[in-house]
Copies of this chain bind each other. A is one copy, B any other.
Amino acid sequence: MTLSHSSFPDLGDGNAASHHARTTRGPSMADVAREAGVSSQTVSRVANGLSNVEETTKKRVLDAMQKLGYRPNRAARALKSGRFKSIGVIMFTLSTFGNMRTLDAIATAASRAGYSVTLIPLTDPTTGKVSGAYHQLREQQVDGVVIIFEAHLLDHADIALPEDLPAVVIDSNAGSGYSVVDTDQHQGARLATEHLLELGHRQVWHIGGPDSSFSALHRAESWKQTLEEAGIKAPEVLHGDWSAESGYRIGLELGKNPAVSAIFAANDQMALGAMRAMHELGRAIPEDVSIVGFDDLEEAASFWPPLTTIRQDFHAVGRLSIENLLHQIAGDTPARDVSVPTRLMVRKSTAPPAPGRSV
C-alpha cells in the first residue's frame, strides 16, 4: 500500500511555505481554451457534453483538458447556474446500523449520478437542540435533501424546508407533502408474526420500539392486526428503546411468565437482549421460547442461537431515495411513496412450542 503526495501537473517548483494553504488554483476553462485555440465557450460546451460541437474541435478540447489536467470548478458553476450537483443528507444520528447502511447506499447512488453528498447534522452540538434546518439549508447549497428520521428525537422539531427544495423522507408516515421511501414495516411485522403462528404458537408477545417512533408504531400495529386476524387477542406492547439493554429488561419480565413461548422483538438488538434474559433465566431457545428479531444485523446469524429475523433492505431504501430525489430535481414527478419489501430469515431461534407448554 502506498499513500503519497503527488505534485500538481502544472507545478514543478517547490512549495510556497505560505501560511494559508490551498493557494494553488488549477487550470481554468480559459487556459484550456487558449491551449486548444478555441473560445472558453466551446470548452464549456464540451465540458457539459452538449451536442453541438464538431468532432475535431471536441477532440482538440479534450486533449487540451487532458494535457493541463483540467477539472471544472464547482463553485463557479454553482454560482452561475444556481445548481450544485450536491445533495444533502439530514440526519440525527449516524450510529445505527440501518442509518449507516442507508447512508452508504445514498453516497454510492449519488456519486454514480455525479452528485456529491453533504452531511447536515441537525442537532446543534453546542445546544443539543434541533436548530434552524431551514437556514442551514439555504446556506448549504444543495439541490435536494434526503431526511433520515429518528422519530423519537423529533417530538418538538419542526423541519421547515424551503418550498422549492426537492426532498425525500426516509420514514413511514412523514406526513404532508413529501416523497417517502421506507421499508415496508407492515409486511415485515406480519412476516414475523405469521412465522411464529405457523410454527404453532398460540400467542406472540411483542417487544416494541419507543412509542414515538413511527417504524415502531407500524410494526406493532401490524403484529396486532396479524394476531387478530388469527382470532387472537394481542397482549400489551412492551416498549423498549431499541437498545439490547431494554430488550434484556423486558425479556426478564417476559421470561418469568411460563405462558410466554413466542416473542417478536422490533429490532435485533432488543431480540439479543431478550435472548440474554432467557439464558439467564434458564429458558432454552428455541425449545422453551422462540424469538424473532427485525433488521438482520450482520451479526444476527452468529448470535446464540442464530437469530431468526426480518431482513430490511437498507441498500434499496438508500438507492431508491436518491432515484426519487433525482427525478424531483430534474423536474419530473416521481412515485410519491415507495415501499421496500422485507424477507424472513429463518435461523435457529424459532421452533414449534414444546408440547403442553403454551397456554
| A interface residues, Cβ below 8 angstroms from B | 1-8, 11, 15-16, 18-26, 69, 71-76, 78-79, 82-84, 86, 93-95, 100-101, 103-104, 107-109, 111-112, 116-121, 125-126, 134-135, 138-141, 143-144, 151, 154-155, 157-166, 169, 174-178, 212, 243-245, 247-248, 269, 272-273, 275-276, 279, 298-299, 301-304, 306, 328-331
Contacts and interface: CB of A to CB of B under 8 A. Distances in A.
A165 B22 CA distance: 6
Given A116-B119, A276-B302, 13 more contacts: A1-B157, A3-B169, A7-B163, A71-B139, A73-B79, A75-B76, A94-B100, A111-B125, A112-B125, A244-B299, A269-B298, A299-B299, A304-B304
Contact of A8 (B2, B4, B162): B162
26 contacts: A5-B160, A5-B163, A5-B177, A6-B160, A6-B163, A8-B162, A19-B331, A20-B330, A21-B166, A22-B82, A24-B162, A71-B139, A74-B141, A75-B76, A75-B84, A75-B141, A86-B118, A94-B101, A94-B104, A100-B100, A243-B298, A244-B302, A248-B302, A276-B303, A276-B304, A304-B304
Contacts of A176: 3-5
A279 B276 CA distance: 14
A158 to B, nearest CB: 5
A302 B25 contact: no
A82 B73 CA distance: 10
B4 A160 contact: yes
A164 B24 CA distance: 8
Contacts of A111: 121, 125
Given A118-B116, A331-B19, A5 B161 contact: yes
A267 to B, nearest CB: 11
Contacts of A79: 73, 75-76, 79
Contact of A269 (B4, B82, B120, B299): B299
Contact of A95 (B104, B116, B143, B166): B104
B116 A117 contact: no
B1 A175 contact: yes
A121 B108 contact: yes
Contacts of A298: 95, 243-244, 269
A4 B177 contact: yes
A84 B25 CA distance: 13
Nearest to A271: B302
A96 to B, nearest CB: 8
Contacts of A95: 100-101, 104, 298
A4 to B, nearest CB: 6
Nearest to A80: B75
B272 A6 contact: no
A25 B354 CA distance: 68
Give the interface centre of A4, A22, A138, A248 by most chain B CB atoms within 10 Å. Answer: A22
Contacts of A154: 1
A63 to B, nearest CB: 17
A125 B272 CA distance: 34
